[in-house]
Amino acid sequence: MRAVTAAQMRAIDAAAVARDGEVALMRAAGEAIAALIDRYARGDGPVVAVAGNGNNGGDAYAALAAYGGARRRIVYGDPSAAGSAARRDARERALIAGVEERALNDIGERTGVGSSDARSSPPDTGILRDAGLILDGILGVNARLPLDARSAELVAAIAASGAPVLALDVPTGIDPTTGAAGERVVRATATIALGRPKLGCFFDAGRDATGELWCAPIGMRDDDADGVDDPPTHVLAPDEFAALLPVRPDDSDKRSAGAPLIVAGSTQFPGAAVLCAWGAARAGAGYVTVAAPEGAAAALRAHLVEQVVVTYDERDPDGAVRTILDLTNRCNSVAIGPGLGLSDAFGTIVNGVIVGTDLPVVADASALYHLAKRLPAYRDKPLVITPHAGEFARISGKGTIAPGQRLTRVRAFVEEHGIVTLLKGSTTLIAGRDTTHVNATGTSALATAGTGDVLTGTIATLLAQGLSPIDAARAGAYWHGRAGHAALAHRKRGVIARDVAEALGEASAVDPVSQKAGIVEPIRIF
């Protein structure tokens, strides 16, 4: 599904309103929000909504109207705000349903915040502190930074409460398009995106403030944003990942099940080839072949039992290229780079193999150093490159990526060079010619040596099993992030790359999609 800018969301919302009506959409949003309340609420405290004067506040009213649990329901809102017809409908239904309404101005000095006027603190402002869950319905997708003084005051009150928070659409204080943070920010336990997830929830500092991210589609459509802020950006939802993941046919043999060739490792860094091969195997490859220098063979064979190790003489790079290209005749894809060196000999090998094969290729690590000199030769080739920020700065020739410029930079690079690019980071970006994908999975546990080699092997298997370069890259990144989280759940501390490879099987199983109120499984941000 699309991860949208504020302008794209407004276009999608307007089209949905024209089709289904604003009242119906807000009622659907309320049901979706209500379905998550008990999941995140603590103890037996009330669910308390802080409702701004726009439709984000209307969604908060709608949620309390729809909530059927046992908790007391309280909304802080402005009874005098006219708002839209949908907001008026939501408020009316909430009051009929027994929701207690209190004036928004009642949130004040008792929470430790408030304007500098002499307003006295009413007796019920401590309710925020005692809440089981707070619904942040202050601004939503129409937020602008810096926040106005009253919105900033409300954000501070929520923060001072210490209660868990479910943000509606976007945590208040976060720019919905860029993820930039204001001086005061709601740090949500979870966020529920209504219609489509907002792009700002995937980038720092928005990612940190969002918590666990859910999306309730409520009948909205991606194509209603066509032509707005193009090219589009997408994010995989769990059901979309499951549909992308290749299924091994019953009549498969070991090569048709996926036969990647791993060109990796050196005398100094044999472990990179081992981890890449393990990643490929645990991703479901039927036959993994590793081509490595003769000096690395003993170490590789000590660790790789099911995988075949074939050697070449790195001192004869032209002969090495011939040996490796001969191996490609029995393989379906190539992974190249992990653990190779930066010598001219390895440069000849890397570029000779990539130029000489028609198989899809994923290139990482040392291969990025070498192919940077030959970028025009690889335009529109079935190639995925997987740089981290430092490698991207070099390969792009444009230097270090400035804060907030990752999306712009990777799009510009792909437009110039026509190469599918997976830019690693706390939010990994996968860019192709016509679209960009943000990866929502992952954990800081992946910040350890060798996990990138596992990712390269995973992508190599997906390429070998027939996925296009862009699909193999986005599915591989998503899967790798899930595996990192699964490994962390088992080990809690000290996750290493082999743990991630071992967790790929578990991480391929997608939780059932929740059908309640049309909510999809969370687009998890860990």
Question: How far is Cα 289 from Cα 266, in angstroms, rounded to an integer?
Answer: 15
Write out the DSSP string of 150-183: HHHHHHHHHHHH---EEEESS-TTB-TTT--B-S
Which amino acid, 9?
A: M
Sign of CA dihedral 192, 237, 15, 434: positive
Question: E strands along 80-177, which residues?
Answer: 100-103, 133-137, 165-168
Question: Which pLDDT does position 5 carry in this prediction?
Answer: 95
312 SS3 class: strand
Cβ(435)–Cβ(233) under 8 Å? yes
Backbone angles phi, psi at 166, to 5 degrees: -110, 110
Topology classification of domain 246-507: UDP-N-acetylmuramoyl-L-alanine:D-glutamate ligase (3.40.1190)
d(CA 373, CA 376): 9
pLDDT at 497: 98
| Per-position pLDDT tens, the chain of length 526 | 999 999 999 999 999 999 999 999 999 999 999 999 999 999 999 999 999 999 999 999 999 999 999 999 999 999 888 789 999 999 999 999 999 999 998 886 444 454 444 344 444 458 999 999 999 999 999 889 999 999 999 999 999 999 999 999 999 999 999 999 999 999 999 999 999 999 999 998 899 999 999 999 999 999 999 999 888 999 998 888 999 999 998 999 999 999 999 999 999 999 999 999 999 999 999 999 999 999 999 999 999 999 999 999 999 999 999 999 999 999 999 999 999 999 999 999 999 999 999 999 999 999 999 999 899 999 989 999 999 999 999 999 999 999 889 999 999 999 999 999 999 998 999 999 889 999 999 999 999 999 999 999 999 999 999 999 999 999 999 999 999 999 999 998 999 999 999 999 999 986 543 333 444 455 643 3
Residue 151 region by backbone torsions, left for phi larger than 0, else alpha for psi between -120 and 50, else beta: alpha
Residues whose CB falls within 8 Å of the CB of residue 252, separated by 6 or more in sequence, listed in order: 286
Instruction: Work out the end-to-end distance of the chain between its first and last CA atoms, rounded to an integer number of angstroms.
Output: 19
Q: What is the pLDDT of residue 239?
A: 85
Contact 113/158 with Cβ under 8 angstroms?
no
Of the candidates 459, 25, 448, 132, which has an alpha carbon nearest to the alpha carbon of residue 271?
448
- Number of helices (H) and strands (E), helices first, in the chain? 19, 17
Is residue 376 helix, strand or coil? helix
Determine whether domain 6-227 maps to CATH 1.10.357.10: no
What's CA 323's distance to the chain center, in Å?
Answer: 39
Cα–Cα distance for residue pair 285/271, rounded to 1 Å = 19
Instruction: Please work out, in degrees rounded to the nearest 5, the angle formed at the alpha carbon of residue 188 by the alpha carbons of 185 and 193.
Output: 105
Q: Give Cβ neighbours of residue 337 (< 8 Å, ≥ 6 apart).
A: 263, 264, 350, 363, 364, 365, 366, 367, 368, 456
Amino acid at 497: A
User: pTM above the 0.85 mark?
Assistant: yes
246-507 and 6-227 share a CATH fold: no
Strand-pairing partners, residue 293, are: 312
Q: Note whether 506 and 480 are within 8 A (CB).
A: no
| Alpha-carbon separation of residue 352 from 293, 311, 400, 419, 502 (angstroms) | 16, 17, 29, 18, 32
User: With contact defined as beta carbons under 8 Å apart, do 34 and 68 qualify?
Assistant: yes
CB-count burial class (<10 Å; 0-12, 13-18, 19+) for 230: exposed
What is the identity of the amino acid at 140?
Answer: G
Can you give the pLDDT at residue 117?
43
What are the domain boundaries of the chain? 6-227, 246-507
- The vertex-215 CA angle with 149 and 456, nearest 5°, equals 110
**Bridge-based pairing state of the strands 133-137 and 233-235:** unpaired
Cis peptide before 231 (omega within 30 of 0): yes
Strand order across the beta sheet in which 420-423 lies: 233-235, 436-438, 429-431, 420-423, 383-385, 361-363, 333-336, 260-263, 289-293, 308-312
